[in-house]
Amino acid sequence: MTVVPSPLDSAAHGFKRPQPVGPRVEWWILAILVLAAFLAAFVDSIVGGGGVISLPALLAVDYPVHLALGTNKLAATGASSMAAVRWTQGGHIVLPLALALIPFAGVGSFLGAVTVLFFQAEFVRTLVITVMVVMTIYVLVRKKFGREDRFTGIRLWPFAAAAGLSLAIGFYDGFLGPGTGSLLLFMFLGVTRFDFLRAAGHGRILNFASNLAALALFAIRGHVDYAVGFPMMLSMMAGAYVGSHFGMRHGTKWIKPLFVAMTSVILLRLVVF
C-alpha cells in the first residue's frame, strides 16, 4: 500500500531540512528593503495593506515567491505585534473581544496556508476583489460610516458573526493575503460598530494572530530568509510604532481617507498583477 504524505508531514520534513536561503543581498539592497519595510509598516499599522509595498520589494530582488511570502510574514509579524501593543496601550482595545476572536483568525490563517498547497488562488482572488470594490464604494457613499463609536458591548449574534468572519478573513490571509487588514477593519466597522479608530486597533490584533499562524507554517517548510527577514522586522516594528502613534493622534479624519486610498491600491494590485 502506498502512503501519501500529508502536507503537515511534508511540513515537518521541511523543518528538518530547510530549503536554501534567497539570493545574495548586497548591503544597499538590504537598505532599500529595510526602508520599504518601514513605510509598509507605517501604513499597515493603521489600515493594513503594507504587503503591497514590502512583498513586491522582495520579489523585485529575485526572491522565489514562497521565500518572499515567508520572509515578508516574519517581518509583518513583528510589525503587527508592535502595532497591537501600541493600540492596546492607547486604550482603544476591548480586550475580552479581541482575545476571544484571536483563535478564529489564527486557525483560519493556518488552514489557508495549508490549503493553498492544493488549490489555485484565482477563485478566492476574484471573490476578494468583488468584496473590496463593494466595501470601498460603501465607505465612500456612507459619509458618516465609521465616524462614531456605536459599540454597546459584546452580544451573542454580533460576536458569532465576527468569529465567523475572523475565521474566513484569517483563511484568506494564509491563502492569498493582500487586503487582510482592510477586510478586518471593515468587519469591525460593520459588525461591532466601532469607529475607524477602534476598528483599526482591533484589526491589528487579529492581523498579528493570522500573521503568526501563517509564519509558523512557512518557517516549518523552510520558506523564511532570516538574514533579511530580521532586519526588515526591526524596521517594520519601528514603522508600526510611528504609524500607530500617528493613527491614534489624528483619528478618524485621517484613517478613513487612508483606508480608501490603500484599498484602492490593493485592488489595483489584485486586478493588474
Residue 47 lies in a domain: yes
The answer as to whether 214 is a domain residue is yes
The answer to whether position 150 is within a domain reads: yes
Containing structural domain, residue 196: 7-12+25-272
In a domain, 18, yes or no: no
The answer to whether residue 218 is domain-embedded is: yes
Domain count, the chain: 1
What is the C-alpha separation between 177 and 130, in angstroms, rounded? 15
Alpha-carbon distance of 106 to 213, in angstroms, equals: 5
End-to-end CA distance of the chain: 43
Average pLDDT for residues 188-192, to the nearest whole number? 92
Contact 95, 251 (CB under 8 A): no
DSSP codes joined into one string, 16-80: HSPPP--S---HHHHHHHHHHHHHHHHHHHHHS-THHHHHHHHHHTT--HHHHHHHHHHHHHHHH
Q: Is residue 20 part of a domain?
A: no
**Rg of the chain's alpha carbons, rounded to an integer?**
18
Contact between 188 and 199 under an 8 Å Cβ cutoff? The reply is yes
C-alpha cell at 112: 489557508
The model's pTM: 0.79
Average pLDDT for the chain: 83
In a domain, 40, yes or no: yes
pLDDT at 165: 96
> Does 222 have pLDDT greater than 80?
yes
17 in a structural domain: no
Dump pLDDT digits (tens) for 11-38: 444 444 455 456 777 899 999 999 999 9
